[in-house]
Amino acid sequence: MSALELSFTRRFSMGHRLIAGSSERCAIPHGHNEFVTVTLQARTPSRLDGARNMVVPFAEAKARWHDFIDTRLDHAFQISSSDPLLGWFLANEPARVDRIVVTPGDPTTELMAALLYAKLKAFLRAEGDVLCCTSLTLEETPTNTVRLTGAPDPFLPLMEGEATDYWWHRADPTISDVRAAL
């Protein structure tokens, strides 16, 4: 099947730690310089018009997404909602809590790919659903990459309770639900 896709890559630095026990060496806070690449296409594909010949101008297609990456994700600290470091920040450095990405379970590359994909979907929906995302690739290190295609929903962890409006489903710049819960 034919597809005319736009692909955008952005680099960001992050810190994280994994505490669920699957990777003991990753339980010590450490960081990576990561690359996130998204592939977009028109929700209703059509022939190039012979004049402007653009699906959507690149700058327009990536503006909101890259602003989120640059201003919220870059240099943020990613931790599980059950990580005791979250309580430490709330008690000792509450002003920095907004720089923490809080995730349901460990912030692995797989989970971050699914959460970021859901966030991008929310942004695209808010912009009128002209474009849709068909894949998101998250390169944690030059040797470790996760690629998610299609849709994030089948991979997102099941959440307890009725709430569905988690930060990754909202078209806003938030990276956690901690403030809302205080």
Would you tell me which residues interact with ligand LPXRUNBV (CB under 6 A)? 23, 26, 108-110, 140-141, 143-144
At which residue do the structure tokens 């059509």 appear? 46
Shortest distance in whole angstroms from residue 91 CB to ligand LPXRUNBV: 26
- Residue number with CB closer to ligand LPXRUNBV (108 or 176): 108
**What's the token pair of residue 76?**
């943020």
- Residue number with CB closer to ligand LPXRUNBV (131 or 136): 136
- Residue number with CB closer to ligand LPXRUNBV (24 or 165): 24
3-class secondary-structure state, position 80: strand
For strands 76-80 and 6-16, give the pairing: parallel
Shortest distance in whole angstroms from residue 50 CB to ligand LPXRUNBV: 45
Residues 19 and 58: their CA atoms lie apart, in Å, by: 39
Shortest distance in whole angstroms from residue 77 CB to ligand LPXRUNBV: 13
Q: Which amino acid is at 108?
A: T
Shortest distance in whole angstroms from residue 62 CB to ligand LPXRUNBV: 25
Residues 53 and 117: their CA atoms lie apart, in Å, by: 27
3-class secondary-structure state, position 19: coil
